A and B are shown apart, each in its own frame.
Chain A
């Protein structure tokens, strides 16, 4: 019993299809609980007022935007090393979701920034690196679309993903060097275990993060299965011709 068994598309679909409704269900209930709890049953922050509540969308979306790229990186590596098609397709499936998460993070950030910082947009390191991340997603998806042969496309996008990851990290540090930011530091540093957010806000935030993570998982599984089926249809059509 090894994890590579699921690299078989048939096995992958057979295993994940019954899982998807469950993951989706738990994700939606987490999101409903987390968002309703966060929006209606937490006190207003004494300085930020009710605008603080956008954190329940902003932080999980930003978290998933970065982790989606990370997942694509790992999937690309698996494709390059072990050449499992499901892996390449999973990377392809994750890209649009990651891009949407990036957009959500940028837009909710702008909506929060308008009353708090008095501006929709500032050339702050975190904001700028997210914009650059968005451009990376765009380029990655455009390369997938531009190349007709699917194996070539998978190879090239994987190489792009590897090189892009290095440059994404580099850009992150470059923009930090370039401009001092408005954006506050992380509220939930994992490494130190300390938090600048009180438990009243943190628990519903955690529920929302779990919800977003499971939502991402469910969407990726669904889209990967769709990609596998689309490729099967292509193969069948090619055989009929």
Chain B
């Protein structure tokens, strides 16, 4: 059961009301509890940021590391002891900005990690600065006139860099997200599950989605299933503004590192 994986003495957590991170932790723990893994042999890691507080609420060995470096730490853990199951929580700033190099190299090595990126398009912990995934034109404290830089597409990045499993969902799609995380956990090699989630406090407040329900309705409305997205692209339709494809983007069996020897 999922409840057994929480450090109940640490709850309620520090996330703001309506924050998507709590939902994602639920889904990840639901998936982990479905794998039948032993809590003793499971390690959760994270870097710095809102997302990265998650391992502190999970009753396993957990490593809350420095900003952006979680995947590098995870590489050490997994390579030194491949019998451990290693899951990394990270955010968009953590993964795509300061940790971008570690991210693409872990994809390239195809190390047997599952990385869950809570992408809320903003630096929430520090009060709402623009991140590499802040959509064009959106307001943050460091983009007061609207973001002028093209955002990263984390899914494309992971696919291009060689990850074995890549999926994207939103914090509304809890069932699909749980299944995607489960697939990621079960796929040998590097798995990235990007979750577009709401940050009502820092992002929503400045971008007309102050209420969590409004925000998640927006995410739901702009998430287009991958197949539909591709057929829309083929037929040359204009994509609706702010929309993005969701679904499973890659599942393959390239050579991997960090899995236990067969012997």
Pairing of A with B: no
